[in-house]
Chains A and B, each alone.
Chain A
Amino acid sequence: MSSSDPTAATVRSPRRALGWGFFLSELGVLFRRRRTQAMLGALAAVPILIAVAIRVTGGDGRGPAFLDRISQNGLFVGMTALVVSIPLFLPLTVGVVAGDSVAGEASTGTLRYLLVSPVGRIRLLVVKFASAVVFCLAATLTVSLAGILAGAVLFPIGPVTLLSGNTVDVGEALLRALLISVYVALGLVGLAAIGLFISTLTDAPVGAMAATVVVAILSQVLGQLSQTELLHPFLPSYHWLDFADLLRQPIDWSSFAGNAWLQLAYVAIFGTLSYARFATKDVLS
């Protein structure tokens, strides 16, 4: 048949692309979208509000970890903001992005067009998940960077005294801040996989987003109940706040590794479930 249509043969790529182009396009659609920009803006506002509040009030009183250190060293603004954002703001934005991933395409009617374009169903899932992971990193980096900038503007910046008592210079401290952002983003990857799976279950993106956020909150609630202690190490939020180990010298990588394995397990389980659900699903949206 293709021999009867020479133009098609000459115009087509000789090989099927791997999907990097589609991945880039997906990132473009995600980050050019107002909603994504608004969420990142809101995340950036967290450290800025913290920094301004402390600047205005002098930073006395009780508050989250690192809060008391901010007025001496602006580098702590980002870390404080991450601690503040971990329970709700970050999971909320990840829930929106991951919950929207497939259900959002279904609701705009673009899912059927992507599939007949054709992008294979597995490729679509992989690209959706990968861009949700990129968003996790973008979200935590946004908080950190906005925090560092706000801290630098409003407070003195200097060498940081680590939890182990050692002092590191500003460059090293910035690297640690970057590392912590990666750690927190990594902790959200399992949630992104859960959101992707929920997103394959429905054509209603808002429902999928809400359900994903509920999962994140439930996980944290269960993590606080002593009655569910046996469950704790398996909850996706188990390692969320354990990044203190990255503020020691030498760095203690055990919680980083624990976090990575736990999240990998969630990705494996919910990736498989997403595939099982989506690979043969009737797309009737």
Chain B
Amino acid sequence: MTAAPAAIQTSGLTKRFGRQTVVDGVDLDVPAGAVFGFLGPNGSGKTTTIRMLLGLANATAGEITVLGERMPGTLGTVLPDVGALIEGPGFYPFLSGAANLARLDAADGWAPRATRRTRVAEALDRVGLTQAGGKKVRAYSLGMKQRLGIANALLMPRQLIVLDEPTNGLDPQGTREVRGLIRSLASTGTTVFVSSHLLAEIEQMCTHIGVMRGGRLVAQGTIDELRAAGQATLHLTVAAPDARLAVRTLAPLGIVVTTAAAPEAQAAEVAPEAAGDTALAAPFPDGLPPEHVVAALVGAGVRVRGVAVDRPSLEDSFVALTGEGFDVVQ
């Protein structure tokens, strides 16, 4: 795997529909072997980006490299190594699940006919559709179709698998299974590019994340980088009379108490005679070991009743990046 080229790279990727810019100067960088979560609210341009990556839609501007090859010039040689689920499953309702897979497999000029039956059966098995494989797709639930769509992406060994909102329509059990499937793909070295509008659904399995908002890629990096990017917060609970002392002790450490969680205690203006505990909160500087803070407080005679340093959840960062309320951006 030495110096494997990036699985996906784009620079300035842009798509306009009429006067609306739907994808706007996106510079994706998906390293080989990554599980890349492509996050963004509905309408943020995820599917449109994926269509351009796979040569279904033409980019208005920008460049695309997939598996080290410039697209769309080399579609015919790159796409056999790419499995994809794009904007939901698409199947012939009048054919069985297995017949649908065989049909799409027959369209792939590189897929050997001799092994088709076995590969179809294996793909159905991997998504738990062995029992339903002979049923007409007309009779499938949305979740079953979604599974069949994923099975289609797995018909051949792939280097890159692109899954656009794979957990749509799946029950919690199905969602867990998809996560397991993605993990098992990743463990064999396959790069997985998975889009979602729900961070929680994919957070646990991603190594990298890119966040789309209104057609722009507003953040991209490893999941740890994105976690670290958020400001940590110190939560401190002290005996109420010691609150002012605590604030004074923290100041030289670079910790400025901005909020006191207890409603009766306004920041540093804490009533010294108030009984009970006072909760204080402050932005916590990076790189400062929390135990130093505790030592300083105890040394100054502050009765520390509780201390915690919170990293914002990725969820919070995601909401901060994409905007509250998940409004569909026009």
Are A13 and B112 neighbours in the complex by a CB distance under 8 Å? yes
User: How many B residues touch the partner, as a band?
Assistant: 35 or more
Binds A, one of B152-160, B238-246, B255-263, B312-320: B152-160
Are B56 and A115 neighbours in the complex by a CB distance under 8 Å? yes
How far is A82 from B41 in the complex, measured between Cα atoms in Å?
58
Are B91 and A108 neighbours in the complex by a CB distance under 8 Å? yes
How far is A4 from B113 in the complex, measured between Cα atoms in Å?
24
Q: Which residue of B lies closest to A115 (CB)?
A: B56
How far is A161 from B159 in the complex, measured between Cα atoms in Å?
68
0 or 1 for each of B143-186: is its CB under 8 Å from A? (1 = yes): 00000000010001111000000000000000000000000000
Is A21 in contact with chain B by the CB < 8 A criterion? yes
Is B107 in contact with chain A by the CB < 8 A criterion? yes
Q: Please name all residues of chain B whose beta carbon is closer than 8 Å to the beta carbon of A29 when the two chains form the complex.
A: 92, 95, 103
How far is A111 from B4 in the complex, measured between Cα atoms in Å?
32
Is B295 in contact with chain A by the CB < 8 A criterion? no
Q: Please name all residues of chain A whose beta carbon is closer than 8 Å to the beta carbon of B86 when the two chains form the complex.
A: 112-113, 116
Q: Given A4-B4, A12-B112, A118-B75, are A113 and B56 also a contact pair (CB < 8 Å)?
A: no
How far is A33 from B88 in the complex, measured between Cα atoms in Å?
23
Q: Please name all residues of chain A whose beta carbon is closer than 8 Å to the beta carbon of B112 when the two chains form the complex.
A: 11-13
Q: Given A1-B32, A5-B157, A16-B76, are A22 and B57 also a contact pair (CB < 8 Å)?
A: no
Are B81 and A120 neighbours in the complex by a CB distance under 8 Å? no
14 more CB-based (< 8 A) A-B contacts, given A280-B58, A283-B57: A1-B67, A4-B32, A12-B110, A13-B112, A17-B113, A29-B92, A108-B91, A108-B92, A111-B90, A113-B86, A116-B56, A116-B86, A119-B108, A284-B56
Is A134 in contact with chain B by the CB < 8 A criterion? no
0 or 1 for each of A109-151: is its CB under 8 Å from B? (1 = yes): 1111111111110010000000000000000000000000000
Can you list 9 A-B pairs with a CB-CB distance of less than 8 A? Answer: A5-B159, A21-B106, A22-B109, A109-B89, A111-B90, A112-B54, A117-B104, A123-B109, A282-B57
0 or 1 for each of B45-68: is its CB under 8 Å from A? (1 = yes): 000000100111110000000011
Q: Which residue of A lies closest to B47 (CB)?
A: A284
Q: Which residue of B lies closest to A114 (CB)?
A: B107
Are B55 and A115 neighbours in the complex by a CB distance under 8 Å? yes
Is B93 in contact with chain A by the CB < 8 A criterion? yes
Q: Please name all residues of chain B whose beta carbon is closer than 8 Å to the beta carbon of A120 when the two chains form the complex.
A: 75-76
How far is A202 from B88 in the complex, measured between Cα atoms in Å?
20
Q: Please name all residues of chain A whose beta carbon is closer than 8 Å to the beta carbon of B115 when the two chains form the complex.
A: 11
Most buried by B among A1, A18, A19: A1
Q: Please name all residues of chain B whose beta carbon is closer than 8 Å to the beta carbon of A109 when the two chains form the complex.
A: 87-91
Question: Shortest distance in angstroms between A283's beta carbon and chain B's nearest beta carbon?
Answer: 4
Q: Please name all residues of chain B whose beta carbon is closer than 8 Å to the beta carbon of A4 when the two chains form the complex.
A: 1, 4, 32, 159, 189
Are B80 and A118 neighbours in the complex by a CB distance under 8 Å? yes
Are B104 and A33 neighbours in the complex by a CB distance under 8 Å? no
User: How many A residues touch the partner, as a band?
Assistant: 35 or more
Are B189 and A116 neighbours in the complex by a CB distance under 8 Å? no
Is A24 in contact with chain B by the CB < 8 A criterion? yes
Q: Please name all residues of chain A whose beta carbon is closer than 8 Å to the beta carbon of B32 when the two chains form the complex.
A: 1, 4
Are B76 and A118 neighbours in the complex by a CB distance under 8 Å? yes
Most buried by A among B4, B76, B92, B108: B108
Is B309 in contact with chain A by the CB < 8 A criterion? no
Is B194 in contact with chain A by the CB < 8 A criterion? no
0 or 1 for each of A1-37: is its CB under 8 Å from B? (1 = yes): 1101101100111001111011011001100111000
Are B108 and A118 neighbours in the complex by a CB distance under 8 Å? yes
Question: Shortest distance in angstroms between B180's beta carbon and chain A's nearest beta carbon?
Answer: 20
- Of residues 100 to 148 in B, which have CB atoms within 8 Å of A's CB atoms? 102-113, 115
Question: Shortest distance in angstroms between B69's beta carbon and chain A's nearest beta carbon?
Answer: 9
Question: Shortest distance in angstroms between B294's beta carbon and chain A's nearest beta carbon?
Answer: 48
Is B94 in contact with chain A by the CB < 8 A criterion? yes
How far is A25 from B106 in the complex, measured between Cα atoms in Å?
7
Q: Which residue of A lies closest to B5 (CB)?
A: A1
Q: Please name all residues of chain A whose beta carbon is closer than 8 Å to the beta carbon of B102 when the two chains form the complex.
A: 25
Are A117 and B68 neighbours in the complex by a CB distance under 8 Å? no
Most buried by B among A32, A111, A283: A283
Q: Please name all residues of chain B whose beta carbon is closer than 8 Å to the beta carbon of A116 when the two chains form the complex.
A: 54-56, 79, 82, 84, 86
How far is A182 from B58 in the complex, measured between Cα atoms in Å?
41
Question: Shortest distance in angstroms between B81's beta carbon and chain A's nearest beta carbon?
Answer: 6
0 or 1 for each of A98-116: is its CB under 8 Å from B? (1 = yes): 0000000000111111111
Which of B56, B104, B158 lies in contact with A282, CB distance below 8 A? B56
Are A34 and B94 neighbours in the complex by a CB distance under 8 Å? yes
Q: Please name all residues of chain B whose beta carbon is closer than 8 Å to the beta carbon of A283 when the two chains form the complex.
A: 51, 56-57
Q: Given A114-B104, A118-B80, A120-B76, are A11 and B92 also a contact pair (CB < 8 Å)?
A: no
Question: Shortest distance in angstroms between A18's beta carbon and chain B's nearest beta carbon?
Answer: 8
Are A8 and B159 neighbours in the complex by a CB distance under 8 Å? yes
Q: Please name all residues of chain B whose beta carbon is closer than 8 Å to the beta carbon of A117 when the two chains form the complex.
A: 79, 104-105, 107-108
